[in-house]
Amino acid sequence: MKTIFVKPLTMEKKWYVIDAAGKDLGHVAVAAARILRGKNKPEYVPHQDMGDYVIIINAAQVAMSGKKFTDKMYYRHSNFPGGFRATNYADMLKRKPEFPMEHAVKGMLPNGPLGRSLFNNMKVYAGSEHPHMAQKPISVEV
């Protein structure tokens, strides 16, 4: 029996919304990455963008276990001497409330052009409001 490949142009992409309030950061990120990759569909192939669009709301109210709220660190470097910077999760949540969720999901996507295009299919909002109601997103329970 031959394998059936679906052409990306003929595929219909759906919109999903995930409410992250009170949920574990990793669990929400895994659910979002699976939908973005398209692993929830029977026609999944690893080399094509078969996934759907994901909206994550209430990203600022995501839960962290243990002492990660104060001990988890995010690192960056400016590529200049002495340009190494570290920020903990609590400070990052004040500065950029969407960043921890985006960072977690981006780490679960493939590296390269496919991963970058998949990452553009995700929208993260710190609050419960989002401008994508016209797409009629389907709610996903994590």
Q: Dump pLDDT digits (tens) for 78-94.
A: 999 999 999 999 999 99
| The architecture CATH gives domain 15-140 | Alpha-Beta Complex (3.90)
Per-residue model confidence (pLDDT) at position 75: 97
Least Cα distance to 29 among 129, 111, 103, 95 occurs for 103
Residue for token digits 């493939």? 110
The residues spanned by each domain of the chain are 15-140
Over 80: is that where the pLDDT of 4 sits? no
Task: Please tell me the distance from the alpha carbon of residue 133 to that of residue 86, in angstroms, as a whole number.
Answer: 37
Contacts of 110 (CB under 8 A, 6+ apart): 118
Q: Dump pLDDT digits (tens) for 18-73.
A: 999 999 999 999 999 999 999 999 889 899 999 999 999 999 999 999 999 999 99
Task: Please tell me the distance from the alpha carbon of residue 58 to that of residue 101, in angstroms, as a whole number.
Answer: 10
Q: What is the mean pLDDT of residues 97-117?
A: 97
Question: pTM of the predicted model, to two decimals?
Answer: 0.92
